Structure formats: structure tokens, C-alpha cells
């Protein structure tokens, strides 16, 4: 075989290799970074799989869009990093200008409510009571416009929601700013109880969205199909769930 023939074979091999790699990329299931929130997802240890209203909802997206979704259940901050860096094609987050910088909201999944949680012996029943108070919030979380006018209120940032509950119970913060479903999560998993907290104070409604990462390599046709789907929402989950569950002494 002469030199020209060898070069031709190598060139053809290179083309075929690239074609196969491209085909593999095109058929790879899109990855969805799903934050682990107990009220929305639960691990069925017996069957070693995740269940819950968010899993069911994403299953409907799969069926209606005609594509398989590779769900990656991870902690909140890991979900943000995966979506920002393109390790995940999609992520599930509360609507926020911060999230819009790393991804595009393409489908509304449900509604939530930001609330102020305080202890009963120092109850916060009005937003004006937050002046000169220290409010705990998760680092990297969404901004809440309703509280920007409180110039003398200070934030204390924590790294995970369990730390926030610990700070509140220890009296190191006056109140906790979080989503309604996070309160239910804390009651179920982090030792918080309705007996010790005042009725949560409603602050601001927010929506939960499926975000498309700016770094995703998935074809726009897939994104358009998902974006054009009929509206979906959680079954049995709404912004009244927290108050329905809250029991007065």
C-alpha cells in the first residue's frame, strides 16, 4: 500500500469516527439536575428508585415530548453547578434573575411561596418587625424583592437548609427566609415542629421552572418541543399546603 492509500484510509477512518461520536452525542438522553427536596421527591429504598410529585411531573414531560430524561437527583448547590457548567442540560429551580444568567426558563412546573419562619416566643407577624433583625437565608438563593425596603434588616447566610434550621432553633437568627415546601421538608427531616414555630408569614409567591442550561448541547428542536407542551403542574401540591398542615396549639 503506497503512502497516498495509507493517508486515504486514515482520513476515512477519522471521518467515520467523528460521525459515530456525533451520532452518540445526538442520541444521548438529556440530563436533568433535580434538587433533592423531600416534599417533591423521595427515595424508594426497596426498589432503589426515586418517586414523588416532581418525578411524576417530569415523567409526563418525557411522554409528551417523546424523549427520555436522565434525572440526576442531587443536593441544591450541586444542581446549580451542574446546570451552570453544562454537566446537566436542564435544571429545576425557582424563578430568579440569578438562574437566568446560567439558564433559560422554558417550562413552568408549579408554584411556591417564600415565607418568614420564626419561633413562637419571638413571633414575626408583620414584615415591618424584621427591621433590625437577622434573617437566615441559603447562600446563592433567590432574591426576594419584598424585603429590599427593609434597610436595617441583616442577612445571615448558611450553606444548607439543615444549618438554617439549626441557627433558628439556637436563637442565632431571628427568622428564616425560605420556600413553603422547605418548611415542610424541615419538619419532616430536620427536627423542626409546628409546636415551636409561629405561623409562617407569607412574603412573596414564586414559580418553579424547568431551566435549559446555556451550556447544553441538546438540539433546539427538543427544547422547543418541551417549551410548547401544554401547561403541567404538581398533583396535590400548592401554596396552601403549608397552612393546611400547620396546626395551632
CATH number of the domain enclosing 126: 3.40.190.10
Rounded to the nearest integer, the mean pLDDT of the chain is 85
What cell does 189 get? 427531616
**Residue at 126 is within a domain:** yes
β-pair type (103-117, 175-179):
antiparallel
Instruction: Collect all residues with Cβ–Cβ distance below 8 Å to 56 and sequence separation of at least 6.
Output: 235
- pLDDT attached to residue 19: 44
pLDDT band (50, 70, 90) for residue 45: confident
Q: Is a pLDDT exceeding 80 seen at residue 15?
A: no
Buried b (16+ CB within 10 A) or exposed e, 105-129: bbbebbbbbbbbbbbeeeebeebeb
Instruction: Collect all residues with Cβ–Cβ distance below 8 Å to 225 and sequence separation of at least 6.
Output: 65, 66, 67
- Percentage of the chain modeled with pLDDT above 90: 57
Q: Is a pLDDT exceeding 70 seen at residue 237?
A: no
On the 0-12 / 13-18 / 19+ scale of CB atoms within 10 A, 152 is exposed
Domain that holds residue 145: 113-205
pLDDT band (50, 70, 90) for residue 30: very high
- pLDDT attached to residue 144: 86
**Residue at 19 is within a domain:** no
- pLDDT attached to residue 165: 95
33 and 90, same domain (yes or no): yes
pTM (predicted TM-score): 0.72
107 and 220, same domain (yes or no): yes
In the block, cell 424585603 appears at 147
Amino acid at each position: 500500500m503506497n503512502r497516498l492509500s495509507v493517508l486515504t484510509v486514515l482520513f476515512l477512518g477519522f471521518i467515520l469516527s467523528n460521525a459515530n461520536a456525533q451520532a452518540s452525542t445526538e442520541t444521548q438522553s438529556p440530563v436533568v439536575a433535580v434538587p433533592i427536596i423531600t416534599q417533591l421527591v423521595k427515595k424508594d429504598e426497596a426498589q432503589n428508585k426515586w418517586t414523588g410529585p416532581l418525578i411524576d411531573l417530569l415523567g409526563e414531560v418525557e411522554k409528551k415530548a417523546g424523549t427520555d430524561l436522565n434525572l440526576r437527583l442531587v443536593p441544591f448547590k450541586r444542581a446549580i453547578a451542574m446546570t451552570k457548567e453544562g454537566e446537566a442540560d436542564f435544571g429545576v429551580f425557582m424563578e430568579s434573575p440569578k438562574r437566568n444568567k446560567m439558564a433559560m426558563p422554558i417550562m413552568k412546573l408549579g408554584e411556591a411561596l417564600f415565607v418568614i419562619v420564626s419561633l413562637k416566643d419571638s413571633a414575626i407577624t408583620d414584615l415591618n418587625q424584621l427591621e433590625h433583625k437577622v434573617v437566615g437565608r441559603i447562600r446563592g438563593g433567590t432574591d426576594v424583592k419584598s424585603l429590599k425596603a427593609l434597610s436595617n434588616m441583616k442577612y445571615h447566610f448558611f450553606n444548607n437548609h439543615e444549618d438554617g434550621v439549626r441557627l433558628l432553633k439556637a436563637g442565632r437568627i431571628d427568622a428564616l427566609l425560605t420556600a413553603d415546601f422547605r418548611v415542610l421538608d424541615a419538619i419532616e427531616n430536620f427536627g423542626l415542629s409546628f409546636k415551636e414555630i409561629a405561623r409562617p408569614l407569607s412574603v412573596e409567591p414564586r414559580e418553579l421552572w424547568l431551566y435549559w442550561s446555556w451550556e447544553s448541547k441538546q438540539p433546539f428542536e427538543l427544547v422547543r418541543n418541551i417549551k410548547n407542551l401544554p401547561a403541567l403542574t404538581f398533583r396535590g401540591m400548592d401554596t396552601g399546603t403549608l397552612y393546611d398542615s400547620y396546626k395551632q396549639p
